[in-house]
Homo-oligomer: A and B are copies of this chain.
Amino acid sequence: MANRTPQANQSWLPEANSPTVDFPLTHLPYGAFEHEGQQHLCTAIGDHLLDLYVCAASNLLPPTLIEACQAPTLNSLMSLGHRSWTLLRESLTALLHADVEPDRRQGVEGALHSIAGATLVRAVHVPNYTDFYASIHHATRVGQLFRPDQPLLPNYKHIPIGYHSRTSSIVSSGTPITRPVGQSRPIAAQEQPDFLPSNALDYELELALYIGEPSVLGNPVPISHAFHHLFGVSLLNDWSARDIQSWEYQPLGPFLAKNFATSVSAWVTPMAALAPFRVPAIPRSDADPRLLPYLHSTVDQQQGSLNVKLEVFISTETMRENKLTPFLLSESNAHDLYWTPAQLIAHHTSNGCNLQVGDVLATGTISGPTEASAGCLLELTRNGAQPILLPTGESRTFLADGDEIILRGSCEVPGSPRIGLGECRATILPARI
């Protein structure tokens, strides 16, 4: 465990030492940006990004890492395994630390760019994308809307419910989202379904868990080793068209209601940076069923959950015209999830299904126990029955064209510098019809 005195975490970039910065020296998330027509990997420090391609070319990084640091995506680094992840993180920490030698600091300065001026792009090639349903508060409140007599299905507390989602339509933060067109049947009695732009477009506040260490087809990952397979974490918005979903999802689950777009934030926070923010899993009550052994580990119960505070903001066109700051729709925290990341991995592989380098396991909507901590509009507005009033006098049941949704995440505990996950934002464009 690194020394946590302030001096130990000081960077020679003064901005990185501010207590409110997202990217202090203890964070060092990975990303990618466009550089003269190429895609370069980078890390973030303060308000700057550090070009890993250039660092590798300038012999500022260990020789064994040069190829991975000059690749267009993080998948090469992920494939090198834990030792290399640690080596790169230590190397970057040393380069950006206040104690760095002056000549190395000069080399680093030549590889720094302002984040504000850069075009960030997706850093990870995602071969497979699974979306879970790990928030019991979300599952319960959604269930209350559609099955008031049995909000939580009998399997929920036994099995981490998940389904496969679509990788082709994962887009980076900032990419506009076109409102999808699709079939819906708003009135159950109507003969023909409508085929119209979605009238119930929603966001879902989630975390993306990136797999760094793959698993072999046929070989379940024991829960004791499961956390070890994680490379890092991003913010994820699983856009959802509720009207399309309710008409199409029986019997095989959501399809076109989800696969028109999924937004991910630019920065991948390595698990090493999250170490100070690991917390106990939420305690199971005596009334809860016993965990099956493949889902239980004492270490996981003690420190397998992540204390990541999450926020959703909306900025409407009218708000932007009036120069109003984005409006906070809700706050929640990933530590409220019923299932831990290790449980999701152990379950996913329990039948022998293999994980590949770069796979995303999304948590599902992260909602907390209170109404104000709901991670989507379906919950916040009770499926449109209770509109949200905005400071402009506007109201929302679901998203309007021009609305921008901004997800933010941060970790704060006494004794460790705060880190921020950056943001995942996108604006809704009108349907093309």
Contact = CB atoms under 8 A, between A and B. Distances in A.
Given A155-B250, A247-B155, A217 B261 contact: yes
A294 B359 CA distance: 33
Contact of A192 (B259, B289, B353): B289
B195 A294 contact: yes
A62 interface: no
Contacts of A171: 217
A354 B169 CA distance: 7
B163 A255 contact: yes
A83 interface: no
A383 interface: no
Contact of A128 (B167, B183, B250, B261): B167
Nearest to A188: B154
Interface string A113-136: 000000000000001100001000
A350 interface: yes
Nearest to A214: B168
A178 interface: yes
Given A164-B164, A168-B217, A168-B356, A254 B253 contact: yes
B133 A159 contact: no
A251 B248 contact: no
B432 A218 contact: yes
Interface in A84-100: none
A353 B252 contact: no
A264 B167 CA distance: 21
Interface string A155-178: 100110111111111010000001
